[in-house]
Structure 1
Amino acid sequence: MAQAKPHVLLVDSYCSFAYNLAALIKKAIPGSVLHVIKNDTHAIQDLLPVLSQFSAIVIGPGPGSPDIPSDIGVVCDLWKVAEKDMVPMFGVCLGQQSLGVEHGATIHRLDTVKHGQVSVVKHTGTEIFEGLSDIKVVRYHSLYIRTKAGSEIEELAWSEDEENGKIVMGVRHLSKPFWAVQYHPESVLTDEGGLKVFQNFWKLAQEWSQRHRPSFTPKFELELPGSHIWPRVSGRYSSHAFNKSLGKVTYTAVDVPNLAILDVAELLGAHDDSKRFVFLDSAAHPGQFSILGCLDDSSPQFTHFVHENSIEVTTGATKQRHELTDKDFWTWLDEYREARKVTGGDSTIPFWGGFAGYLTYEAGFGTLGVSVPRQSGHSETNHPDVNFVWVDRSIVVDVLNSKVWVQSLLENDGEWVQEMVQKVAALPNAPTHASSTVSIKSDVPATVKFPDEAQYINDVNRCKEYLFSGNSYELCLTGLTHITVPKESKLSTWDRYKLLRDVNAAPHAGYLRLQPTTFLSSSPERFLSYSRSPGAVCELRPIKGTVRKLPHITREIATQMLAGSRKEIAENLMIVDLIRHDLHNAVGANVDVSKFCGVEEYKTVWQLVSVIEGSLPEGTPVEVDDSLGWEVLRRSLPPGSMTGAPKKRSVELLQQLEGFERGPYSGVFGYWCAGGGGDWSVTIRSVFLHDSKKNGDEEWVVGAGGAITALSDPEAELEETNVKLNGVLNGFGASA
């Protein structure tokens, strides 16, 4: 006879590490069924009818303070339930603070904030710390509790900070089955203080249940309305029929020695500003494949504004508006690609055709539950939040090996493929000007309006106050710089891109001309790439930590400055933990950090880079696996490296601080292949032009900023922002 599995409740206080905690719980309590709720979705009256049916409850971390009702929600009531409803509970970070405050402890601010910091924790060796020696743990907190003599809370663990003195790191309730830790057991850099402590908690929970509720047995089914079971797969995939008769890719691959990729772009019309164009450009190491869309009037373009409930599809002179009455734009685009899915392309290249374009920073707000304060009907001067074109014909160039693939998703299109192969193969022997130097017209130089420096420094200090008060661990503060190019000095946008490419070549660059947006990027940062199914693997590569390349800055010195910096490691660690959470939310348990804080070299900077990978379990239905990357993208935006953590609270705080929409900046651009793979870059070191700003003087916009932590120096943050700006401004003959 099958045995019922233990049911565990995880209460999430809007933390961006909650699903890391979920993975740890499932590992510590094998076979358990994990129910997840937010701390404000259920009143205690909603939970009491089912509470005693759980085997354990875990109170997760989150932003804010335990003495602010909107921050803590139902958690404060869970610590005070009657004995008949009592369940063993374990609190993490905010969870420990709440347990303490509800039972006589007081809450205080640390003198020196600990966000993304590793500390040694000493303990009594009893209860949840049984069998452990001193442990190394990761801390994300600015608040802590002080227990009182004679209170019901007993200290089990502590750190001895040079700056803060003795800080409580673990506690238990003297008479109730409640335990908690201040540190984060789920962090990638926490050692045995993670899994072993949870295993000890589960042992103690079972022993308590045997003594105090001997007749308790887990139910086979436990229904808690408004919760979800982790891991979960989006229900979207079962809502549409899957394409069983796949189309075929027609392609020819040829070797073209000494091929100039810019010549290929101009062959396809890059120089004609009136036409749409897509160029995803691996312009520097470690990039390898560059992608060019061969667009014509029949190539459909998809635009969507997040404050509107429709998608507009433009084909030639025809525009069709599709209402999103019963689905979001993610589902609509997923179904569109599914109906046009193909097979038969060369598996060694990443793109066969499909969607290419960009998503704005604000395009990710819906998944977070954050609103975009726009009025309907005022979007004509905004960049669309979703701006894609469907690419049926394309050219992929292996820039390292001078190999070219000409390919088409259209039926009976072999003649076009062969004609284009001949044109590309003839390029090295044809007269060319694409690679020649473009000069800046300097009769009337561009003018640059920078963000106000005093205001930026003031905003850095405001960010730090939010960090000290417990509202965030890291805030990625940004500003927008406006570049005005007088009509006498205007270049074609293609020539402008070539200038930018020349002064700041990057591995994840791009030139997108998708009306009403012209988009030039020299991004060094890949956000998300995913392989084709079966067995799709998602990889994210956050960059946090930047040093300008100068003659005396060798790799050894850069490594010392970045990997040897407590501040830089803390920034990167927070984003790694956030991304692990986003991946765990989409794929379940199979998440791995394959590189942590490696130093990588780019044309103008050294960067601190980590690599996180995730995949679905073996045996996952192919229709789910095929759309995995799209689902990970949906659940991961905006990029954590551009928000901070916890993500939702950080985004809300940044909205207030910055006072503007970021638009394409801080979003992503790239492609989703009709064969299933995809690659998206973070939109940084990028500049944008709206069609409405093309007549007369041009007005380009470029964003830049940095991650503000408790260790940030405002002047140094301003300098780092200028370093990032210069890579783009040099393409306009300007500098910060």
Structure 2
Amino acid sequence: MTFDPPRLLLIDSYDSFTFNLASLFRRSIPGCCIHILKNDRLSISDLLPHLRHFSAIVVGPGPGSPDNTEDIGLVRDLWNVSEQYMLPIFGVCLGLQSLALADGAELHRLPIVKHGQISHVVHTGHSLFEGVGRVEAVRYHSLHVTLLPGGSIEPLAWADDEPENGRIVMAIEHRTWPFWAVQYHPESACTAGGGPEVVANFWRLAQQWTHKHGRKTSPWCESARRVFGPSWPHASPLHQSLRYSFPPALSVNTIVVDAPTISVTNICDILGANDEQQPFVLLDSAARPGRFSIIASMLPTSLQITYNVDDPFVGLARGTAVTYEKLGDHNIWSWLASFMYTRKAGGGRPEIPFWGGLIGLLSYEVGVCSLGVAPRSRNDPNRKHPHPDVNFAFIERSIVVDNLTGKIYVQSIIPNDDTWLVETSVLVQEQPDAVHQECLPLHDQETVSHATVILPDKDRYISNIKQAMDHLFRGNSYELCLTAHTRIQTSSKSSWNRYKTLRRTNPAPHSAFLRLSPTTFLSSSPERFLSFSRPPDAIYQLRPIKGTIRKGPDVDRAYAERALAGSPKEVAENLMIVDLIRHDLHSVVGEGVTVQQFCAVEEYETVWQLVSVIEGQSSSEKSSGWDVLRSSLPPGSMTGAPKKRSVEILQDLEESDRSLYSGVFGYWCVGGGGDWAVTIRSAFRHDDPNVQPADEKWVVGAGGAITALSDPESEWDEMVIKLQSVLRTFD
């Protein structure tokens, strides 16, 4: 005789913490299966016949208001089902508010919004809190409820927000029906005491009610599977294109050179970085804690892959010859996965991260489309951007510089390429010693020029900040990363020399110089987005930065600790992104997600930063780094949370596509590993091969996380300060 495991239906209101909640329930109710359903996918009449398959429902959090049908979907109908269909329900945040409103409660705005903040929760010690001790809970809400006196809802817990908000209800239960809910977020990384303990109590209470009322669940069947799909977690559709168990198609050949005094820029000089007519690729660890710099040695036949989000084809260029391949049944993600599937390589040196493969750029809009948000109309000239949304070179020859050990790895995945390997390794060794960077002039004569800088309109930007804050107070988002483009017009100069100036004035661990027509891209990004090691047993790591302070004579570690880790605002911003990233990672790898570091102050070349580290590892080969990258874009640190709703709001507020800014750049190695950085502290220009302008036009993006605690003038000042690290490159 076989027994079905307990099945839970999790109603997702388009939140960015849903998979964290799924993971919490999987850990707290061993052996359970969880199916996730968007709140607008089925009507209540379509859902009711299938409830017999489920042991309980979890109503997750979400943006918006419980009195708005578009925000709440079928959730409002769950509280009024007949006894025939009734089953235990646990609500979180929006779920609690919806349950309370169904009983006649009043909905109010909090005078002081609680987004990413931790509160002490006082509880009754019974029902959901039986045996539960002290609760420190993370809150993400701008709305709260006042219960109907003498109604059917009984309060179980409160937060004392005196003097700002007063006493706020944090947990409730229905006096008659099997409904329980909490206002705080039990799934948050920083909730202590009110997470697994409360969920376990819910399950105990749910089983007691089920047994008392003689409710039986029906076995899972094919019709239910067609409606709800597989339980979470399940394999990504890209997985079939990413099997790394077969023998590699290519071999990596490497020569190792000991040359601790040779500089990365000298190597680039000899490989033609200064030739504006030729492509060039450099991913540069120009400052600690970066370590490896990757330099491509491009061939005239090196393949360049381009794609725009509204195109049904991929562009393939080798030199001046360009062809177009229809995507057909593929999307861009599965097309690239299939491309790399046939180009797996082995035999490279395991101590270095890159053997060859794709290097390039992904725009912000690629991630927007992955969320199911329609891109801006490319027919609108005010919104169109000229840069490909996907722009990769496939690198067969490369030089990897280990900036820690001084070793240089000259490598190729081209068969019988020994002559190039030997000649290049000799050439590298013959280069003169590196000149100390501090001895070089800040700007050489060739790069000095007068630039016209067009900042965003200040009044418009501040107006957008105020509109963003209004969205936060209305519950539409917890945090919005508002950005704008600054445009620079300057006389034509060597882009490579501009990059070397940027490298000296703002050295960063994730710097880059990419000249991939029609784009020239300079970056001094401090923020790694995602790295993933080679399979099998790959580890996926994300390192969000929220909180930065520039070094100075009086700004030592102790000062930085107080200013960053000691700031409730900075920690709240960081926590929101940590919880969002955990959700993105859980969506791909399942339960194997941990916060390895929370809000630690790290030292960089010119700044102190507040950095968290989130890692994931799948228990099977059902996921890959490419899956994680696709599911994590656009970077949460550049959108806010919940991600989808935040992106939609930002599209209305911002004037144009973000283009490359707020996207990512990096590599996907033929060995299966990868490393991607967030495109910030960067500049890019469009190179029209048919025009030789006297002036260059560059774009620099900047912005900041808008929270309920933001001051519009201060946010404007912060955005302008962020620009300075790049603007100095243009004198």
TM-score (norm 2): 0.96
Percent identical: 52
| Residue 416 of structure 1, CA deviation | 1.1
| Whole-angstrom distance in 1 between the partners of 2:226 and 2:7 | 11
| Residue 441 of structure 1, CA deviation | 5.8
> Counterpart in 2 of 1:425?
429
The residue correspondences of 1:118-267 to structure 2 (distance < 5 A) are 118-162=118-162, 163-216=164-217, 219=220, 222-223=224-225, 225-238=227-240, 244-267=247-270
On the 8 A contact 1:307/1:374 being kept in 2, the answer is no
Corresponding letter in the other structure for 2:499: Y
| Whole-angstrom distance in 1 between the partners of 2:112 and 2:385 | 45
SS in 2 for 1:303: strand
My pick for the range that moved more, 640-649 or 477-486, is 477-486
On the 8 A contact 1:262/1:434 being kept in 2, the answer is no
| Whole-angstrom distance in 2 between the partners of 1:131 and 1:328 | 51
My pick for the range that moved more, 513-522 or 600-609, is 600-609
Corresponding letter in the other structure for 1:728: V
2:460 to 455, 464, 473: 455
| Whole-angstrom distance in 2 between the partners of 1:11 and 1:208 | 21
> Counterpart in 2 of 1:611?
613
**Deviation readout 1:432-475 (Å, 9 max, x if unpaired):** 99995442669861111111222222211111110000000000
> Counterpart in 2 of 1:729?
727
Corresponding letter in the other structure for 2:99: L
| Whole-angstrom distance in 2 between the partners of 1:40 and 1:215 | 27
**Deviation readout 1:562-599 (Å, 9 max, x if unpaired):** 10101000000000000000000010000011110011
Residue 123 to residue 442, structure 1, CA distance change in 2 (3 Å)? same
The residue correspondences of 1:675-714 to structure 2 (distance < 5 A) are 675-692=671-688, 695-714=693-712
My pick for the range that moved more, 467-476 or 376-385, is 376-385
Asked if residue 587 in structure 1 is aligned to residue 583 in structure 2, the reply is: no
On the 8 A contact 1:142/1:470 being kept in 2, the answer is yes
| Residue 197 of structure 1, CA deviation | 0.4
On the 8 A contact 1:263/1:432 being kept in 2, the answer is no
SS in 2 for 1:83: coil
| Residue 317 of structure 1, CA deviation | 2.1
On the 8 A contact 1:52/1:86 being kept in 2, the answer is no
| Whole-angstrom distance in 2 between the partners of 1:377 and 1:463 | 24
Corresponding letter in the other structure for 1:301: Q
| Whole-angstrom distance in 2 between the partners of 1:600 and 1:429 | 31
On the 8 A contact 1:41/1:226 being kept in 2, the answer is no
Asked if residue 277 in structure 1 is aligned to residue 273 in structure 2, the reply is: no
My pick for the range that moved more, 526-535 or 549-558, is 549-558
1:630 to 591, 609, 626: 626
| Whole-angstrom distance in 2 between the partners of 1:373 and 1:152 | 47
Corresponding letter in the other structure for 1:464: M
> Counterpart in 1 of 2:359?
356
| Residue 212 of structure 1, CA deviation | 1.0
2:478 to 451, 473, 487: 473
On the 8 A contact 2:448/2:730 being kept in 1, the answer is no
Asked if residue 30 in structure 1 is aligned to residue 56 in structure 2, the reply is: no
| Whole-angstrom distance in 1 between the partners of 2:714 and 2:486 | 18
My pick for the range that moved more, 368-377 or 331-340, is 368-377
On the 8 A contact 2:359/2:392 being kept in 1, the answer is yes
On the 8 A contact 2:54/2:217 being kept in 1, the answer is no
1:344 to 344, 347, 350: 347
| Whole-angstrom distance in 1 between the partners of 2:350 and 2:241 | 29
> Counterpart in 1 of 2:87?
87
| Whole-angstrom distance in 2 between the partners of 1:450 and 1:375 | 23
| Whole-angstrom distance in 2 between the partners of 1:240 and 1:592 | 24
The residue correspondences of 1:370-449 to structure 2 (distance < 5 A) are 370-375=373-378, 382-428=386-432, 436-437=440-441, 438-439=443-444, 445-449=450-454
Corresponding letter in the other structure for 2:465: V
SS in 1 for 2:64: coil
> Counterpart in 2 of 1:571?
573
| Whole-angstrom distance in 1 between the partners of 2:439 and 2:45 | 70
**Deviation readout 1:368-420 (Å, 9 max, x if unpaired):** 11011224698996110000000000000001221100000111111211111
SS in 1 for 2:231: strand
Residue 347 to residue 694, structure 1, CA distance change in 2 (3 Å)? farther
On the 8 A contact 2:364/2:660 being kept in 1, the answer is yes
Corresponding letter in the other structure for 1:210: H
| Whole-angstrom distance in 1 between the partners of 2:136 and 2:697 | 51
On the 8 A contact 1:5/1:219 being kept in 2, the answer is no
SS in 2 for 1:703: strand
Residue 727 to residue 434, structure 1, CA distance change in 2 (3 Å)? closer
**Deviation readout 1:4-45 (Å, 9 max, x if unpaired):** 201100000000000000000111111111100111111112
On the 8 A contact 2:385/2:657 being kept in 1, the answer is no
TM-score (norm 1): 0.95
Taking only aligned residues, the RMSD between alpha carbons, in angstroms, comes to 2.0
| Whole-angstrom distance in 2 between the partners of 1:88 and 1:224 | 24
**Deviation readout 1:623-660 (Å, 9 max, x if unpaired):** x45xx111000000000000000000000000111121
| Residue 3 of structure 1, CA deviation | 2.5
My pick for the range that moved more, 328-337 or 45-54, is 45-54
On the 8 A contact 2:242/2:341 being kept in 1, the answer is no
On the 8 A contact 2:52/2:218 being kept in 1, the answer is no
The residue correspondences of 1:43-122 to structure 2 (distance < 5 A) are 43-122=43-122
Residue 545 to residue 655, structure 1, CA distance change in 2 (3 Å)? same
On the 8 A contact 1:308/1:376 being kept in 2, the answer is no
Residue 377 to residue 727, structure 1, CA distance change in 2 (3 Å)? closer
Corresponding letter in the other structure for 1:382: P
| Residue 52 of structure 1, CA deviation | 2.5
Query: What are structure 2's unaligned runs of at least 5 residues?
Result: none
On the 8 A contact 2:238/2:334 being kept in 1, the answer is yes
Residue 521 to residue 433, structure 1, CA distance change in 2 (3 Å)? closer
> Counterpart in 1 of 2:550?
548
| Whole-angstrom distance in 2 between the partners of 1:340 and 1:568 | 43
On the 8 A contact 2:279/2:516 being kept in 1, the answer is yes
My pick for the range that moved more, 567-576 or 453-462, is 453-462
Corresponding letter in the other structure for 1:641: S
My pick for the range that moved more, 230-239 or 158-167, is 230-239
Corresponding letter in the other structure for 2:648: E
> Counterpart in 2 of 1:601?
603
On the 8 A contact 2:103/2:148 being kept in 1, the answer is no
> Counterpart in 2 of 1:717?
715
1:668 to 664, 670, 693: 664
Residue 37 to residue 694, structure 1, CA distance change in 2 (3 Å)? farther
Corresponding letter in the other structure for 2:52: S
Query: What are structure 1's unaligned runs of at least 5 residues?
Result: none
On the 8 A contact 1:457/1:718 being kept in 2, the answer is yes
Residue 258 to residue 157, structure 1, CA distance change in 2 (3 Å)? same
Residue 66 to residue 431, structure 1, CA distance change in 2 (3 Å)? closer
